[in-house]
Amino acid sequence: MKTVYLDSAATTQVRKEVIQDMQDVLEHSYGNPSSTHAFGRASKSIIETTRKAIAKELNASPQEIIFTSGGTEADNMILRCAARDANVTTIITSPIEHHAVLHTVEELRNEYDVTVEYVKLQECGTPDYQDLERLLSANTERKLVSLMHVNNEVGNLLDLDKVSSLCKANNALFHSDTVQSIGHYKWDVQETPIDFMTAAAHKFHGPKGIGFAYIRKSNNLKPLIFGGTQERGFRAGTEPVHNIKGLETAFVMAYANLEEEKTYVEGLKDYFKTEIAKAIPKVKFNGNCSDNSKSTYTLLNVCLPMSVEKALTLQFQLDLKGIACSKGSACQSGSGKGSHVLEQILNEEDRQKPSIRFSFCKYNTKEEIDYVIGVLKEFVEK
């Protein structure tokens, strides 16, 4: 059976070079990084080399990079520590953030009596920047804004410079879940004065189970996990050196090949957009995903014209044809619940129709896209 993987926003295929480097570490660099003998020092060197490589690309200091198990842990760590240590009494976020943020801020509301405010959304799902300014200037309470750079379901891009400027003008902290954009966009944390960022290696052709938090050094947060001196005492636990090496290789290669791969993947997205509009004229594009200046080049979220009854079997039919894609976010796809993002931005009629997220990477081809669109057209017209 032909198989096509168009779900890179959920997780990406690991680069061969990443696998090779991880295997080499597993075979030869197995010392505990906290040990002082040569085996331990060799492992520690791998970790610090990775930290420096990330910091250099982001224009950050190595001490501002903390390795985590991925984006969810990093989001939890930052939000919890900010509520506990940075005198944050109000968190401003949006109703279409990843649940790693939404569920965490609700817990913080209960645990720390933090006020949680939700910025209004424009019709397309982008935060209303005027409303954000209103919330920031409403009082003198210490605030933290948590807004993702790239929405993981519809691909909308946040204006980071605008939000960071608003936060700075109102003495607020700014956290952005950048899991969908690290490895896909250039960064300079000195030009864009963001306080906290999060990343996961498996979103840019690295391994699962490893990511990092960027924590600006002026924010004196205390550890969340205790029991050891790893990560400068901020996150206890023996580091997974092979995963960290895989993160480094994937990260360095993502930026070394960024322009070439971005051009190629953006071309695939544009081709998909053009061809599906020809094949299924009543198709709709959710959020800003059809506008490359306002959305990421890596994904499209489409609303297909079909009845509710027919829509129930669409994902099953696509799977039968070997096509991997997502209905809503992959993190909730097994829950049976609808997408909280689409619930916020689609009208009642379109919420009854199936919306599918197709996300692209360097390993996809136009031939695969032709196959997928053919399958979709046949199903819609059946």
User: So which residues are the catalytic ones?
Assistant: 331
**Contact of 261 with 362, CB cutoff 8 Å:** yes
**Contact of 247 with 212, CB cutoff 8 Å:** yes
Question: What SS3 state is found at 226?
Answer: coil
d(CA 300, CA 281): 16
Residue of 41, 17, 15 whose CA lies nearest to 30:
41
Question: What SS3 state is found at 150?
Answer: strand
Beta-carbon count within 10 A of 365 CB = 12
Contacts of 214 (CB under 8 A, 6+ apart): 58, 60, 64, 65, 66, 189, 194, 196, 197, 198, 199
Q: State CA 342 to chain mean position distance.
A: 17
Amino acid at 361: C
Residue of 255, 271, 240 whose CA lies nearest to 205:
255
DSSP 235: B
DSSP 290: T
- Alpha-carbon distances of 364 from 5, 7, 52, 67, 113, rounded to whole Å: 8, 11, 31, 30, 47
Where would I find the beta strands (DSSP E) of the chain?
A: 4-5, 65-68, 90-93, 115-118, 143-146, 173-177, 196-200, 211-215, 284-285, 299-303, 323-324, 355-359
d(CA 126, CA 289): 11
d(CA 318, CA 302): 14
